[in-house]
Chains A and B, each alone.
Chain A
Amino acid sequence: MKVLNIVETAYRATLEEQDDPVVWILHALKGAGAEHSVVLSGNAVNYAVMAQGVPPLLFGDKVQKHAPRIAEQVAGLVAKGVQVMVVRECLAARGIDEEELMDGLALVKQAALPKVMNGYDQVWHW
């Protein structure tokens, strides 16, 4: 079963979870044998930006050491052979230049998504 995962929501609970929970489960599913690909759309296109990152959180004297490394998470999917596509129009709408993006991604036009989707058995929208 080939699955296309369209990821739209971004930066939801990433600091509490030390991961993006959707990107995380896509890693876990790959490990379980999933044959899947990813489209980053909406605000999730920012997950392709290399420069993102936060310092550790501090609440009182509690230091939360392991900040989420979203760009590394996404690059990790690419390294595992998961095709990661990014919607061009969503990048443009947010003023994100291609130079800001990590390597290994495929940029797709919004209008191309139907054809892409038709190549998969399931399409899951996150």
Chain B
Amino acid sequence: MMGKKTLTFLLMDAPFETARTTTALRLIDIAARRGYDINVFAYEGAVYLPLASQAKHANAVHGTDAAEEDHPLPREWVAAVMQEAVRNGGKLDWVNCGLCVDERGANEAIAGVRRGSPADFWKMAGASDNVLVIPTR
């Protein structure tokens, strides 16, 4: 049986802009399924990932209404991996960089997200078994 690990990820990308978002959340999901303790420091545009006001919409090109389209929302993915971590005996501590939140007006995040600073990232990194920085371009 795999031992419990603590992993920290630093993300920088805003949602809907790059494949890095999906890959990052896939990695975090894998760690959540293993019951790891996971830290995420969301820097720059990544503070939009758990934005509570992300909303589904209809799609005229597809001919679907909002319900039928069921557009992916990263905030749902984030909430789901948080729950997955807990379900498996772990946890996901998601910290939004406060200054990045302020300049983007990204104040309303889903439940379970807290505001922090680079000092939190350093503390999380120091207390982890490993760290992965996924930079933006």
| A/B: CB atoms within 8 Å of each other | yes
Q: Which residues of chain A come closer than 8 Å to B44, judged between CB atoms?
A: 13, 21
Number of interface residues of A (CB under 8 A): 19
State the CA gap A85–B117 with chains docked (Å): 26
Q: Which residues of chain B come closer than 8 Å to A12, judged between CB atoms?
A: 136-137
Could you say which of A9, A21, A22, A29 contacts B122, with CB atoms under 8 Å apart?
A29
Q: How many cross-chain pairs have Cβ atoms below 8 Å apart between A and B?
A: 40
> Is B131 engaged at the interface, CB distance under 8 Å to the other chain?
yes
Could you say which of B118, B119, B131, B137 contacts A124, with CB atoms under 8 Å apart?
B131
What distance in Å separates the Cβ of A28 from its nearest Cβ neighbour in chain B?
A: 4
| Given A9-B136, A21-B44, A28-B126 contact (CB < 8 Å) | no
Query: Digit string of A1-32 for contact with B (CB within 8 Å is 1, else 0)?
Result: 10100000100110001000110010011011
Q: Which residues of A contact B (CB under 8 A)?
A: 1, 3, 9, 12-13, 17, 21-22, 25, 28-29, 31-34, 122, 124-126
Q: Which residues of B contact A (CB under 8 A)?
A: 10, 12, 43-44, 103, 117-119, 121-123, 125-126, 131, 133, 135-137
